[in-house]
Amino acid sequence: MNDRMDRFMLTGKVAVVTGASEGIGSALAIGMAEAGADIIICSRREEKLREVKAEIEKTGRRAEVFVLDLRRLSDIEALKKFILDRFGKVDILVNNAGATVPKTAWETTEDEWNLMVDTGFKGLFFCCQMIGSIMKAHGYGKIINLSSTFSRSIIPGRSVYAAVKAGVSHLTEALAMEWASSGIRVNALAPTAVLTPSRAHILQGEVLKKILSRIPLGRLATPDDLVNATIYLASPASDFVTGHTLLVDGGWVAAS
């Protein structure tokens, strides 16, 4: 039994997490460190990353900070060099960074479109490509892209964000097919609304009631729900899983 459970551990692995300064990203970074991985945490906010680094180091794992704006390909190229200089390899990439502007399609501006698409889709793709090339050289890797239930369902005010996430899930399938021969598994996580400290003031009252009415399990997702799923997809336990979008949504999509 111990040998089987060991397949869920990340001991000796190096993981990169984008959008890791707070919320889901920081929870995933800390959770993978608790499972044994060393972590490179990335976002645009260095001060917040330093706080997450301190939490990771409490687990006894190594943490490195890299300031990254996914809208600049030069930043992603610099991240690749940073990984090779500091670790020489990378085993896991979690593309968590994204942006959403909750506006109707009528109201969405070009700048808002560019923010969502360039961060959550273009930046994600080139992060897969550039960081994935390190995995290709070693013949093994796990890429986990953050999709959403909005890749399969929709509410008003999320048209562009939903299109980006649908693209993420479809891109995940395409990359999984192309890169399987290089030993790279590519999967996606699709959560429903996640209760994080930064969203607690939004997810209450009538908004919360409306969301819960669509979730058969009757509660919001928690960061721990995503941590557990991420550890599975990042670990050897999922070595025969690729091209899959794992819904962590309490039944939202099924009920839709």
Domains in the chain and their CATH numbers?
2-246 (3.40.50.720)
Q: How much of the chain exceeds pLDDT 90, in percent?
A: 88
What is the reported pTM? 0.95
Identity (one letter) of the amino acid at 236? P
pLDDT value at position 84?
98
41-66: average pLDDT: 97
DSSP 8-state class, residue 70: T
Beta carbons of 98 and 76 less than 8 angstroms apart: no
Residue 6 has pLDDT above 80, yes or no: yes
Identity (one letter) of the amino acid at 235? S
164-190: average pLDDT: 98
pLDDT value at position 204?
79
The whole-chain average pLDDT of the chain stands at: 95
Residue 109 has pLDDT above 70, yes or no: yes
pLDDT value at position 196?
80
Virtual torsion, Cα 28, 30, 36, 41, nearest 10 deg: 80
Beta sheet of 92-95, edge-to-edge order: 63-67, 38-43, 14-18, 92-95, 141-146, 184-191, 245-248
49: exposed, middle or buried (Cβ count in 10 Å: 0-12, 13-18, 19+): buried
pLDDT value at position 256?
81
pLDDT value at position 199?
72
Lowest-confidence region among 8-17, 170-179, 186-195, 240-249: 186-195
Give 130-164 pLDDT, tens digit per residue: 999 999 999 999 999 999 999 999 989 999 999 99
pLDDT value at position 197?
74
Residue 1 has pLDDT above 60, yes or no: no
Rounded CA-CA distance 123/118 in Å is 6
Positions marked active-site = 161
Residue 35 has pLDDT above 60, yes or no: yes
